[in-house]
Amino acid sequence: MRDIRHDSAITAFQQKRGRDAATFFVPFLIPGMRLLDIGCGPGTITAALAEIVGTAIGVDIDPDAIASARQLAAHAGPARPCFVEADMTALPFDDDAFDAVFFHAVLYHQSQAKLANALAEARRVLRPGGVLGTRDADVGGNILHPELDGVRLALDLWQRWYEHDDREALRFGRWQSSVLRAHGFTPVWAGASYVNHSADAVSRAEAVADARQSLLGLGPQLVGKALATPDEIEAALAGWDAWGRDPDAVYFRCRCECVARK
């Protein structure tokens, strides 16, 4: 079953991610490790991590994600990642099978029950002393300029969508360390970094295109669930267009990071 709150328009954005999303985790990895990337999406991060450790397996519940990840693997270098369709709450691997486990943008919009099951499974397949890396959003750290009403509204619409049954889902980043500790891991490092959507005119234009695609995709669902009005969707689209016309506009999205040991 698909993650019902997953925004499929995000897929194009995920495909642009690579090693930069896991930079914080790299100092904890060494060649020869077996690594599991849980909720791997299109597999770009898994492929980048495979180049470091040698053996990386990506799992995802979405068969379309696994299909595109396998296409990517077919063109990868010698450290070819491998992809398996699986539910993170019932992983098809033996106990202690991995030296490293990674979650990127997966845990923050899970229910408490699913989060507990996923972390229990991650802990089961990680060997004693093995290392876990997590990186997730925290809307409290985002930097936006100019703060146009329409863009603020767009950010609020996404928040309404992702938080409609968990009011704090998008502030998950700051709690990663305590969540991991509560689920039996020992946090050893914490930090944060930014996804840059405004490095130059090209990335600003991409940010506007991604925002438009996301709002147009989510719009009917937001309206259907009475989380937004059609006028609000229009105002949010107009806001991003105006933001994109400002050559000095910035949008840096905060990602919190944590490394823990079993």
Ligand X SMILES: C[S@@+](CC[C@H](N)C(=O)[O-])C[C@H]1O[C@@H](n2cnc3c(N)ncnc32)[C@H](O)[C@@H]1O
Pick 148 or 195: Cβ nearer ligand X: 195
Q: What six digits make up the tokens of 147? A: 């703060």
Cα–Cα dist 177/40, whole Å: 21
Parallel, antiparallel or unpaired: strands 34-38 and 250-261: unpaired
Cα–Cα dist 102/89, whole Å: 15
Pick 148 or 157: Cβ nearer ligand X: 157
- Tell which residue, 128, 61, 133, 69, has the closest CA to residue 91: 61
Is the preceding omega at residue 146 within 30 degrees of 0, hence cis? yes
Pick 87 or 156: Cβ nearer ligand X: 87
CA angle 259, 91, 70 (to 5 degrees): 90
Minimum gap (Å) between residue 198 Cβ and ligand X: 20
Pick 148 or 207: Cβ nearer ligand X: 207
Minimum gap (Å) between residue 70 Cβ and ligand X: 14
Minimum gap (Å) between residue 151 Cβ and ligand X: 21
Binding site for ligand X (CB under 6 A): 3, 6, 10, 14, 17, 39-41, 45, 59-62, 65, 87-89, 104-106
* Residue number of the CB atom closest to ligand X: 41
Pick 69 or 131: Cβ nearer ligand X: 69
Minimum gap (Å) between residue 221 Cβ and ligand X: 16
Minimum gap (Å) between residue 114 Cβ and ligand X: 7
Residue 207 burial class via C-beta count within 10 angstroms: exposed 0-12, middle 13-18, buried 19 and up: buried
Q: How many helices (H) and strands (E) does the chain have?
A: 8, 8
Pick 59 or 148: Cβ nearer ligand X: 59
Look at the chain and count its residues.
262
Minimum gap (Å) between residue 26 Cβ and ligand X: 16
